[in-house]
Amino acid sequence: MADEITKRVSLVELFYDLVFVYMVSRATEMIHHLHHGIVGLPVLGIFAIVVIVFINSWMVQMVFTNRYGKLSGTNIVFSFVDMAILLYMSNSFSTTFDWHLAIFFVAAGLLSLTLCIQYVLVYFQTEKKIDKQITQAFIGILIFRSVTLFIGGIFYQSKVGVAIAFAGIIISWIAPGFTGKYTKHHPIIFSHLLERLTALIIVMFGETIVGIADYFTATNFSVQSILIFTTVAALFFTYIVEFDHLINKHQRHETGNLMIYLHYFILFGLSLVTVAMKFIDDTEADPRFAVTCMYFGFALFYIGLGIANYYNKVRVNKTVVSIFIVSTIAGFGISWFYSAFTLVVIIMTAVTLINAVTLTRFRIKYVD
């Protein structure tokens, strides 16, 4: 297994991903609602917690499948059970996070428990010491998360209970990053990991496309509509250049932890860009808040791409990095002081196109 460098993404895995199309839509709804022209930090924090619960569960399942997954009846049943739990969880939270809070925590605990059971089965089936150590580590993480979430569900009316659940979510999100001393001895199959993460990001871009669809109606269509779509296309193209052309897809001896965690920057960045696309033309939104939301999303997205440079066939040079930084900061500065809708759209399109073209030219010069 350690020498295997390719693995086919199964149709069951792709079917499992469909749940996240709905989850992304439901989670992003949380930060679409404005209060006095902005989205408050508590709502953004709740959004981050919800996304971490869902995406971390997806990541743990994906890494399990990468190392130990087989197209067996047992794994298929677990996938379908997890999908049902995820669908239910997607309808158990709101912007205030006080609606069916107990249900959300308990459902998330059950999801962690099903993932834990899969690792327990591998623990008793494998004879390799390193695989027993890996499964023990993940069993411990998942049991910890399940227990803290169940406590949060039982004592959901208590601040202490909720605090324990939130702490469990954050700690169990970070903890897999410290399993490298074990997982480096049974590396992930990098091409499979990359394909699965790319599929997840395409889901996120799908939500962005849905978010800008209102600009393409008979009453709203304009030149700005084309520019907004061009911005999304430029971001997507930048992602594709990095993860489909520059990256070395045949890495060996990788734990995959860095690749997984850098995608959180991209995921959160795209989420902010998606809502900001609506805010920039919303009379109820504070223009400067909309601009800040947009460019903070750009920054997170580009930071994720920058970290991915670690895996590149040829490392991106300082000139490319400097252009990305300067263009993004300049775009933010101009849009902050002159936040009229048309100018904001023109500037953000220019920024994303400049960065997309810069990365493409680098690829042509040094990789092709």
C-alpha separations of 175 from 138, 169, 184, 355, 358 in Å: 9, 10, 15, 34, 36
Could you tell me the CA-to-CA distances from 334 to 38, 327, 337, 344, 349 in Å, in that order?
20, 11, 6, 8, 13
Which tokens hold the place of 53?
Answer: 């619960």
pLDDT of residue 1: 41
Grouping H, G, I as helix, E, B as strand and the rest as coil, residue 312 is strand
Cβ atoms < 10 Å from Cβ of 20: 22
- The predicted structure's pLDDT at residue 5: 57
- The CB density around residue 138, as the number of other CB atoms within 10 Å, is 25
Residues in the chain, pLDDT under 70: 1-6, 71-72, 93-100, 368
Helix 11-29 and helix 190-212, axial crossing angle in degrees, nearest 10: 40
Q: Which residues of 54-77 are buried (b: 16+ CB within 10 A; e: fewer)?
A: bbbbbbbbbbbbbbbbeeeeebee
CA dist list (Å): 351 to 127, 321, 329, 339, 345? 54, 13, 9, 15, 10
104-149 pLDDT per residue, tens: 888 889 999 999 999 999 999 888 999 999 999 999 999 999 999 9
Q: Evaluate whether 241 touches 360 at the Cβ level (below 8 Å).
A: yes
Each residue's pLDDT tens digit, 61-115: 888 888 887 766 777 888 888 888 888 887 776 655 555 677 888 888 999 999 9
Inter-axis angle of helices 73-90 and 11-29, nearest 10: 10
CA distance 153 to 53: 14
Nearest Cα residue to 308 out of 321, 295, 326: 321
Question: Is the four-CA dihedral 13, 87, 134, 70 of positive or negative sign?
Answer: negative
What pTM, to 2 d.p., does this model score?
0.90
Token pair for 364: 């042509």
What are the extents of the domains in the chain?
A: 11-183, 190-366
State residue 142's pLDDT score.
95
Tokens of 170: 């954050």
User: Residue 249 corresponds to which tokens in the numbers above?
Assistant: 């897809």
In 3D space, the residue among 230, 269, 321 whose CA is nearest the CA of residue 31 turns out to be: 269
User: What pLDDT sits at residue 227?
Assistant: 97
The pLDDT value recorded for residue 2 is 43
Q: What is the pLDDT of residue 38?
A: 83
